[in-house]
Structure 1
């Protein structure tokens, strides 16, 4: 059995940041990185561009073999982690081998929710193999339907050729229901429909029938014929490994403010970790790239004994859909009592700011232009009071304010 100071399971945002942080502070610590995909790290955010033919496959990769070699990391790619023994500090792999560790980081990510019945023309999008399959499946398609209006389905539809007929089946009353309030979602829905997308809200797919085309039977009784179906209806944090090891698990793997699990030698970060939300104080699985990077950094520092506390994660999602940049930062809930709106879809500069009872910024939705999203992120992090509409207008007040918080 090989023995390492630190073993990392997961080769995306949290795992990569942990590697960088470890090497920034120590060149001596031995590190192994395990991942079931047999390739270097890649960006899932870019896969819709690849599927839509807007970027080459090689542009998806954010690390190469030289990165791991230069970092002095032993890589075990194409290897699934089967079980963890917290008492013996052992990680067992699918090939029957085991790794010993002093500290273990579970950066396991999440999976697409399963969908049945299956079909060769039905696919999820979570891994590189899914992207390869979808790129081939959608290339000849004249009509594509997506189930679920989240950060998987919508970007894929938006990067398809405008000549493709596009349908979006949404179980809730709006798109991006986990990201946006109803008003902001309505602004985007208007743009989607203007871009040629047919929305089917408060609908579910009850049956998929095979034929020359796929026939989708909807809960309302309507039928929809399509060439391909992309299922993007939610994700599930990968918690099985932790659960079977006896770690505390709820929606995700429960972690404290050090990103430590219920076992002192085991840490978790990224889409599988459930920690404190900075704004609400409640535990949540945030599921965004920046949170994964932040948690990977904190976990790595604590595995090295450098003792760092994490103030909590924040929603911070930025995407491009149908030619519009969209950012959702902090708490963007219908339940927030006071909001300030400026701009419109027509001006391609829409701002909605969410304020608490002390007039502090707790969230922001930006549609059209999102270059100043970092300013709003810092306002939420610093619990700053709303400085007034001049900031939203992007005039001299914006420049003055950015100098003040820099």
Structure 2
């Protein structure tokens, strides 16, 4: 009977195990997870700290006991895998070596922590795991946090800033970038969001990276020091690929770039070894290149694809487009694609209004879309835009068109978006 190992039990690992069982696999599934916690959604950590979710609600698949029964897995909770070897064996922290027929690496990613000068002490926090969230929640409950600096103007950073503000903390959001959401937003959109957030009470510091910790707060690369009782680093993540970084062997090596390289079946360069989730690279449908796409749904789809293939089925992961849909401080931001790509600009609505869309098109190919507001129609737009990103002809159904027209979008704008046809000087469609 075949034995399969899953290393790391987050969203990708769980969906890999579930797909194995759903595909009829009856062999052994051995899950190795260094923590003793169920799979948690990193984006729910801020909701837990803010009190909007109970701790158990941050574990979308349930507790370890129920998952173990549901999927009939052998859970090695609290065991650390030191190495995945090309002969499809694993080396454990205690020196034991176990061999398997197939292995899924789903170790995820960890928060980036730069080397900082000075004593970090207890005032520096992260926001990636439930341990991070519990630590911050405890600190805030002590009531001694009056000033805070959040480093990283990301989707996580803005949520941390929001929860701190709601606790009555004086918050500064800082980044080496010149404006909010630099990897997702056009500058015009970012500046408008920044204006709205500033009106809520958040301060900003741009064009300087954190350099060190002082007795009073955080010191930045431009020499300025900001007083802070709490400093939260939301700088980004780094793929956990170390256990797959093997030396040469007869079976080959697992290829690694920024993440573990996989094919459309989620198999690595070594047959029988698969990878899924934030530790691996997926196909960017917009560019045709592989990259790490750190999205919850992306990890789930990759894990499911890997599980089906490990079970003997044939499944392909089509890829994804970098996108962000987030709600914060009573506003919505949606970003799809790379805002740095050139092209002609198409806009809809007023930038300062309740609903605004800005898109860049080049050679009748959608490059990037930003939306402010429009939470109700974001799913509909995402479906349409994902098809347009791949160059696939896409038209709205009569129901979808009627819904969007009722929401205030114009026929002219919808026709332009569907056909991506823009003549010279044709740049905007105002609200009717």
TM over 0.5: yes
Q: How many residues align?
A: 393
- 1:142 pairs with 2:142: no
Name 1:74's counterpart in structure 2.
Answer: 74
Which one of 259, 278, 286 corresponds to residue 293 of structure 2? 286
1:240-284 superposed Cα distances (whole Å, 9 cap, x missing partner): 111136311111111112111110111111111113211110121
Q: Quote how far apart the aligned CAs of 1:193 are.
A: 0.9
Name 1:299's counterpart in structure 2.
Answer: 306
1:326-369 superposed Cα distances (whole Å, 9 cap, x missing partner): 2222x1323241232223464332222343412x4454322223
Is this contact kept in 1: 2:341–2:368, CA < 8 A?
Answer: no
The CA distance in 2 between the partners of 1:124 and 1:244, in whole Å, is: 29
Q: Quote how far apart the aligned CAs of 1:228 are.
A: 0.4
Which has the larger Rg?
Answer: 2
Which one of 55, 58, 61 corresponds to residue 60 of structure 1? 58
The CA distance in 2 between the partners of 1:344 and 1:28, in whole Å, is: 57
Which one of 404, 412, 416 corresponds to residue 394 of structure 1? 404
Name 2:370's counterpart in structure 1.
Answer: 365
Which moves more between the two structures, 62-71 or 194-203?
A: 62-71
Name 2:47's counterpart in structure 1.
Answer: 49
Which one of 224, 227, 236 corresponds to residue 225 of structure 1? 227
- 1:99-178 correspondence runs (5 A): 99-115=98-114, 116-117=116-117, 118-139=120-141, 140=143, 141-162=145-166, 163-178=168-183
SS at match of 1:129: helix
The CA distance in 1 between the partners of 2:182 and 2:79, in whole Å, is: 35
The CA distance in 2 between the partners of 1:76 and 1:371, in whole Å, is: 42
Q: Quote how far apart the aligned CAs of 1:98 are.
A: 3.6
Name 2:217's counterpart in structure 1.
Answer: 215
- 1:328 pairs with 2:326: no
- 1:227-306 correspondence runs (5 A): 227-244=229-246, 246-306=253-313
Is this contact kept in 2: 1:144–1:164, CA < 8 A?
Answer: yes
Q: Quote how far apart the aligned CAs of 1:289 are.
A: 1.0
- 1:350 pairs with 2:359: no
Name 2:16's counterpart in structure 1.
Answer: 18
SS at match of 1:394: helix
Q: Which runs of no fewer than 5 residues in structure 1 stay unpaired?
A: none
The CA distance in 2 between the partners of 1:333 and 1:392, in whole Å, is: 29
The CA distance in 1 between the partners of 2:386 and 2:7, in whole Å, is: 29
SS at match of 2:154: coil
The CA distance in 2 between the partners of 1:43 and 1:72, in whole Å, is: 22
RMSD (Å), alpha carbons: 2.6
Query: TM-score by structure 2 length?
Result: 0.84
